Structure 1
Amino acid sequence: MSAPSDDISFDKATKLGFHRLFQYIQGANLNSSRIRMTTPVLTSVVPDAGPLHSSAYVVRLYLPVKFQSSPPVPLPELKLHLAEWAPWCITVRKFSGFAFETTTCVKEAQKLALSLSRSPWADATGFNGTNAYSIAQYNSPFRFIGRINEVWVDLDGSKVKGCESSLVDVF
């Protein structure tokens, strides 16, 4: 399930998008179904989609397998959208701490971009995907130590050996 936001702040978009998704899993859907929380919570940066060509964001939450074939319809006021993902290839950089836009996310995305520019996949990172990068957060905000986050960058699977769509599995 996804919560799009044209807010110009990663931190605010993540907070507000997650709040809408949390309401949905707590029963703010047409079935009044409670849905088990899954991880990660994924915030994707969509370049030039926000006001004045700034970035916009999409906050996503995976639905448990039980609800994937027939997810409860969210209440309209939540402005959530069902997002079905086809298999795709990503490259990942793991980092710890809290995922704040200016202090961690941008720096970690830059580190991943630098690492990729020196790798055999450098020409696969210019993929025409919709996201510049995504931040995956795996822990509750109440966990202060041992936090796990990742920055994800989409790769063009046709340019990465072993990553062709026919060879990728979704779990």
Structure 2
Amino acid sequence: MKLRRLFEYIEGANLNFSRISMTVPVLTSIVPEAGPLHSSAYFVLLYLPAKSQVIPPLPLPELNLKPDPWTTRCIAVRKFSGFARDANIVKEAERLAISLGRSPWANRTSSKREYAYSIAQYNSPFRFIGRVNEVWVDVGGSELDDCGLNPIATY
């Protein structure tokens, strides 16, 4: 499971054996019909803290983790509470799609990405009240106003 490998990485399973502070959000990107029998697959990203951005610690080879340097992008976001579960994730993604359909960004979602949407989770799994999650969808690109440069490195 990739999440376990990411946890090992931040706990010191990297070439300089350094612990890396946990950051938020934990981002899960959904890849439709990439799994067996046309089911959805997913990949998980953890943001690296600012001090690890310039020279990120390399993961141990056996973890089979690959860096995913994010380029400039514009993202439409819908915030929701509670635990992120399959049923409410799909509902929130549909609500975001409906909202986008009524906005200037209708028909501007990016098809260049290998995933359809992402779920950003901001809280520890041990927090039960006041949880914050978001559904993210790439829209348009950096040509839109208010989409300035903000490169972020993730694993």
TM-score (norm. length: structure 1):
0.81
Alignment match, 1:170: 150
Runs ≥4 residues deviating over 3 A? none
2:23 to 35, 38, 43: 38
One-letter code aligned to 1:136: A
1:120 matched to 2:100? The reply is no
What is the number of equivalent residue pairs in this alignment? 151
Q: Please list, as runs of the form range in 1=range in 2, the aligned pairs for 1:21-170 lying within 5 A after superposition.
A: 21-102=6-87, 104-125=88-109, 127-157=111-141, 161-162=144-145, 168-170=148-150
Choose between structure 1 and 2 for higher RCO, CA contacts under 8 A separated by at least 6 residues: 2
Q: Kindly state the Cα deviation for residue 52 of structure 1 after the two structures are TM-superposed.
A: 3.4
The alpha carbon displacement at 1:46 in A equals 1.5
Gaps of 5+ in 1: 1-15
Identity of aligned residues (%): 63
* C-alpha RMSD over aligned residues: 1.7
Is the 1:97–1:146 contact (alpha carbons within 8 Å) kept by the matching residues of 2?
yes
Q: Where does residue 5 of structure 2 map in the other structure?
A: 20
Deviation at 1:89, TM superposition (A): 0.5
Q: Shift in Å at residue 78 of structure 1?
A: 1.8
Question: What CA distance in whole angstroms lies between the structure 1 residues aligned with 2:139 and 2:114?
Answer: 11
TM-score using structure 2 length: 0.89
Comparing both structures, which one devotes a greater share of its residues to helix? 1
Is contact 2:72–2:149 with CA below 8 Å preserved after alignment?
yes
Q: Give 5+ residue unaligned stretches, structure 2.
A: none
CA distance in 2, matches of 1:133, 1:110: 10
